[in-house]
Amino acid sequence: MIRTLNRLFVDHPREVEESYLHHMAASSRFGFRLLKLAGCAFLHALVPGLHKATVSKAVCCMAEELDGRAKEARECRMRDAGVWDPGL
């Protein structure tokens, strides 16, 4: 039971070098942004002249942001494992 709770609540935030609360805040910001974009997408479905590029531009920016966070997390894990070489 403890192992399952650690896997669900502790392991991933630790992997990206964040506390549970910091990870929750960052994830919540992404979630609220996605909810807002979902509303924009539905408005665009109803009135095609509204939000013509809002959603696609925002999703591309968010993808870059998430990719940067993932790259940083990978580098931290490699550094912690002793296999990180900044010259690569």
Both tokens of 32, joined, read 């609220």
Total structural domains in the chain?
1
The verdict on residue 88 lying in a domain is no
Half-sphere exposure of 9 (CA within 13 A, CB side): 7
Structural domain of 15: 1-81
In-domain check, residue 69: yes
Q: Does residue 29 lie within any of the structural domains?
A: yes
pLDDT tens string 44-79:
999 999 999 999 999 999 999 988 888 877 777 777
pTM of the predicted structure, to 2 decimals? 0.71
pLDDT at site 41: 97
pLDDT at 88: 53
- Is 76 part of any domain? yes
